[in-house]
Amino acid sequence: MNSPLVSVITAFLNEEQFLPEAIESVLAQDYPQWELVLVDDGSTDRSTALAQQYAADYPG
């Protein structure tokens, strides 16, 4: 039986300090079927660049 898809949606605004830890915690899960959706609400720090780098490193 296939596991259902679990979606993790993370909205962020200027969370450069905490975003990597949040993303890494999702990546560390052993559940086989998941997706991570990152939603930037107009960050002016490096949050957007960090999210883009993770997206490039872990393509869907």
pLDDT tens digits, one per residue of 1-60: 689 999 999 999 999 999 999 999 999 999 999 999 999 999 999 999 999 999 999 997
Q: How many CB atoms lie within 10 A of CB 13?
A: 12
Total tally of structural domains belonging to the chain:
1
pTM summary value? 0.90
Between CA 32 and CA 39 the distance in angstroms is 22
32 within domain boundaries = yes
Q: Which domain holds residue 10?
A: 6-57
11 within domain boundaries = yes
1 within domain boundaries = no
